[in-house]
Amino acid sequence: MQDLAAARTRAEEAEKHLTGARDAHTAARARFEEALGQTELTPETVARVAAAGREALDREEDALRALDTALSEARAVATQRQNDLAAFEAAEGPALAEALTQALESGPDGLARALEAQAAALALAAQALDEARLVLRRDDDVRERTAALHKDYAATEDKARLALQLGSLIGDREGRIFRKYAQGLTLDRLLEHANTRLAELKPRYQLERGRGGDMVIQVIDNDMAGQVRGIHNLSGGERFLVSLALALGLAEMSTTRGVRIESLFIDEGFGALDPVSLGQALALLDQLQASGRRVGVISHVEELKERIAAKIEITPTGRGTSRLAVVEG
């Protein structure tokens, strides 16, 4: 019995849903027929379009949108033409009508003069039109030549691209940019060799090229937490050691390129060295001499006279002359 009551309940609910669906369908049908009555469409046309699918509706919508756009443009053009016509009628129409009225009132002679005036105005307008057309033709010619020049320029630029790139790298015909770049590489290589020798002479300092790619040498003070110092801020003895390291680095760099520098002459500078730095410099020169190079020192420092075995002593004799003597030991 319970099952039967439940089934009856479900049947009643289903009948209510069916009745509601029928009512909704009837209302929708009525709205559809009302909307359809406001158009020129028929139910068969709607059914055929619906059967064509969504793509057909999209195409139809696009076509209608294009028609709306064309209609808007046509209305805008028509409005502009109407405005032009109204302006013409307001500006020239009354004046022309008044001129014709006066010509008719003045008789055949007045009419003839009016016609002559209009003919002259027409000739001037024709001349202006011809001049405008000439300007347009010239403008067209200029545009054509400009387009041809642009085309030729593009072709020439493609052919000259390599030359332009080389120009940006090398610079002018004298090659200043490339020369400065090559000199910078050479200076970097020289500083590498010089720093190797400077580490033996004065480990406190290290040389590097100035910032920005300039051909300037600056000194790094390792005892001052890497502070950058200019060479002119060094003492006389320190500048001599830096110059000596650069000279030795240049000699070593030349040797690596197949040009062996067998003789080195150092002119003065030893007098500005303290005993420790002097000993380091002489020890380094002894190493170079032991490696097969001839090292010549030009100096008046007495300590050097004791350290150098073979010497050439120059003694002034007066009257601008000197005496040379080779001293051993």
The per-residue pLDDT string of the chain (329 residues; one tens digit each, 9 = 90 and over) reads: 566 677 777 777 777 777 877 777 787 777 777 776 777 667 676 666 666 667 766 777 777 788 788 888 888 888 887 887 677 666 655 666 666 666 556 666 666 776 777 788 788 888 888 888 888 888 888 888 888 888 888 888 777 787 777 777 766 667 777 778 788 888 888 889 889 888 888 888 888 887 765 678 888 888 888 888 877 788 777 888 888 888 888 877 776 655 666 777 777 667 777 777 777 777 777 777 777 777 777 777 777 777 777 778 888 887 778 888 888 76
Question: Alpha-carbon distance 52 to 61, whole Å?
Answer: 14
Question: Alpha-carbon distance 22 to 103, whole Å?
Answer: 84
Q: What is the CATH number of domain 176-328?
A: 3.40.50.300
On whether the CB atoms of residues 235 and 272 are closer than 8 A, the answer is: yes
Neighbours of 96 (CB within 10 A): 14
User: What six digits make up the tokens of 93?
Assistant: 């129409």
Closest CA to 262 of 277, 278, 251, 253: 251
Q: Is 303 helix (H, G, I), strand (E, B) or coil?
A: helix
User: What six digits make up the tokens of 153?
Assistant: 């320029």
Q: What is the dihedral of CA 269, 270, 276, 280, to 10 degrees?
A: 90
User: What six digits make up the tokens of 304?
Assistant: 């050097």
Question: Alpha-carbon distance 66 to 64, whole Å?
Answer: 5
User: What six digits make up the tokens of 293?
Assistant: 């190079």
216 φ/ψ sector (left φ>0, alpha ψ -120 to 50, else beta): beta
Residue with tokens 């054509």: 144
The strand pairing partners of 219, in sequence order, are: 207, 229
The DSSP secondary-structure symbol of 208 reads: E
Question: Alpha-carbon distance 176 to 170, whole Å?
Answer: 7
Q: Is 83 helix (H, G, I), strand (E, B) or coil?
A: helix
Neighbours of 106 (CB within 10 A): 13
On whether the CB atoms of residues 273 and 285 are closer than 8 A, the answer is: no
The strand pairing partners of 316, in sequence order, are: 322
pTM value > 0.75: no
